[in-house]
Amino acid sequence: MQADKKIQVSRGQCLMDEPFVGTLLCRLIIKERNDIPTMATEGKHIFYNREFVESLSLDDLKFVMMHEVYHCAFFHHTRRGYRDPKLWNIAGDYAINPILVNSGRRMLKSGLYDKKYDGWSAEKIYDDILDNAEIVEMAGNMEGDCGGTGIFVDASETEAGRAESEADWNQRIVAAVESAKMRGNVPGGFEDYVKEFLDPKVPWHDKLRQYARDQVKSDYNWTRPMKKMIAEGVYLPSEQPEDGISKAVVIKDTSGSITHYPELLQQFGGEISSMLEEGLIEEMYVLDVDTEVQGVQILTKEDTPLTELGVNGGGGTAFEPAFDWVEENNIYPSLLIYLTDMYGSFPTEPPNYPVIWVAYDSSPEYYRDKCTFGDIIEVS
C-alpha cells in the first residue's frame, strides 16, 4: 500500500479506536518530507519519509503516528529550553512509549522503552539519562531518529512562538477530551488536565513567566522612543526584540522578612536564571532594596546558572528608591519585577513600564488601596 493511502487508513483507525488521539491527529497537517529518516513534528505538521511509512505495517504506523501526537500533547516541542535536542528527543520517547504500551499497543522493535520511566516526565527522564554514559554516547553518535518512532523539533525559535503553540494545543486538548468523553475513552490524566486548564490553580512562578512572555508579544515599546526620529520631530516607539525582552529590572525587597524565606528566595533565583538562560530576558538589573538601594547586579545569559541569590540590606521597606534609581540611571526597562511582602510606602505615580509585584507573606487588605499600579502575583 502506498504511503499516503496507509497514512489515511491509519488516521481513520485512530479516529475510530482512539478518539482523543484521532481528534488531535486530524488537526495536524501531514506532509511528505524525505530529508527526515522517519517522522517528525513541530506541533503544526507531521512530516513523513515515504520509504519509512511504506516499510511499516498498519499497526506500527498507527503506533508511530500516535507517538508523534503525544509528543505534542505533552508539549515536548515547546519545553526543551536549554536542553540538548538529541537527549531531549530520547527523554521524550522514554516518556511517551510506556503510555502507548500500557494502552495495549505493541512496542516497535527499534523503539526506546524502559518500564522504569513509566509515569516520569520528560524533564525528569532527561536529568536521569544525563548520568547514563551509554545513552549520552548514543545521542552523540545519533543521526536522525534514534528510536525509530519519529522525532520532534522546537515549535519556534522564539519564546513568543512557543507560547502561541502551547495556547493552541491547550485548546486542541480541551476539544479532544470532550470528543473522547462522548465515546467514554479519555486517556488517564488528560481529563484532570482539562479541568485544571479551565479552572487553573497556577503556581506563582508559572504566572510570573507568563506575564514576562506577554511582554514579548508586543512589537513596540513606548517607554523608550526612537531617538533618531525625535530629532526629526517625530515621536515613535522603539522596537522590541522578537525573541525576548531586551532589558528588565528585578528587585528584591531585602528588609528583614525575606531572610525567613530562603526556599522562596532560591525559587525566585531559579526563575530569573531560567529566563536569562532561555533568552526570555536578554539583560537583567537585579537590585537589593530596603529603604535604599543596597546593591546592583547586571546579569546576562553568560552569568547563568545563578548558584546563589544573596541578600544585601535588612532594614525597613520603601518602594520609591527602586523606581527612583531606575529613572535616574536611564534604564528604560521593558518590565520590572518586584519580590516583596508588600509592607512599605508605595510610589504615588505609576512608572511608564509594566510592573509585576510578586507578593509573599502579605495581606491583600493592607496593600489593596495602597498599591495603585502593576499586576500582583500572590505566592501561596
Question: Beta strands 45-48 and 39-41: pairing type?
Answer: antiparallel
Beta bridge partners of 335: 248
Give the DSSP letter string of 317-359. Answer: -BSHHHHHHHHHTT---SEEEEEE-S-SBPPSS--SS-EEEEE
Kindly report, residue by residue over 85-102, the tens digit of the pLDDT: 888 989 999 999 998 998
Query: Between 103 and 191, whose confidence is greater?
Result: 103
Domain boundaries, the chain: 3-201, 208-379
pLDDT for 229: 43
pLDDT confidence of 191, banded at 50, 70, 90? Answer: low
Task: State the average pLDDT over residues 2-18.
Answer: 89
CATH of domain 208-379: 3.40.50.410
- Residue 224: partners with Cβ closer than 8 Å, 6 or more residues away: 237, 238, 332
Beta bridge partners of 360: 379
Whether residue 352 contacts residue 222, with contact meaning beta carbons closer than 8 Å, is answered with yes
Query: Between 179 and 259, whose confidence is greater?
Result: 179
Q: pTM for the full model? A: 0.53
pLDDT confidence of 376, banded at 50, 70, 90? Answer: confident
Tally of helices (H runs) and strands (E runs) in the chain:
14, 12
How far is 252 from 268, CA to CA, in rounded Å? 10
pLDDT confidence of 139, banded at 50, 70, 90? Answer: low
Kindly report, residue by residue over 262-275, the tens digit of the pLDDT: 778 788 888 888 88
